[in-house]
Structures are given as structure tokens and as C-alpha cells.
């Protein structure tokens, strides 16, 4: 392969890679935001429910 051809190929690869970088700003991304909020709410909510349930179980156990 000749040098000019190699250079042209390398340039084309570089241009293709750089086109993936864009302007350095993230566009969109809401599909990552919603799961995060859902995980936080569900995690906190489930733990609160588990605490209440465990309290009830201990109270029942001590009453029995």
C-alpha cells in the first residue's frame, strides 16, 4: 500500500472517529434520568415499608 493511500485511509478513520465525539455536549439522555429517579424512590420506599413491616412483626412476636 502506498504512503498517500495510507495517509488517506488514516485521515478518513480519524474523521469518522471525531464525528462520533460531536460538540462535546450530551444531547438527550432522559432515558438515563428516569430510571435513576425511579430506583431512588423505589429503593427508599421499599426500605420504609420493610422497616414498618419488621416493627409490626417484632411487636406481634413480643405480644405473643
Site residues (vs another protein, CB under 8 A): 24-30, 32-33, 35-37, 39-41, 43-44, 47-48, 51-52, 54-55, 58-59, 61-62
Q: Is the dihedral of CA 50, 55, 59, 61 positive or negative?
A: positive
Q: Which is nearer to another protein, 6 or 45 (CB)?
A: 45
Rounded CA gap, 59 and 52, in Å? 11
Instruction: Report d(CA 29, CA 2) in Å as an integer.
Output: 44
Q: How far is the CB of 20 from another protein (least distance, A)?
A: 10
Q: Which is nearer to another protein, 6 or 35 (CB)?
A: 35
Amino acid at each position: 500500500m502506498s504512503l498517500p493511500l495510507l495517509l488517506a485511509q488514516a485521515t478518513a478513520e480519524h474523521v469518522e472517529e471525531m464525528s462520533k465525539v460531536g460538540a462535546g455536549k450530551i444531547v438527550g439522555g432522559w432515558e438515563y434520568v428516569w430510571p435513576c429517579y425511579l430506583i431512588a424512590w423505589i429503593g427508599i420506599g421499599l426500605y420504609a415499608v420493610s422497616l414498618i413491616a419488621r416493627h409490626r412483626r417484632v411487636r406481634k412476636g413480643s405480644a405473643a
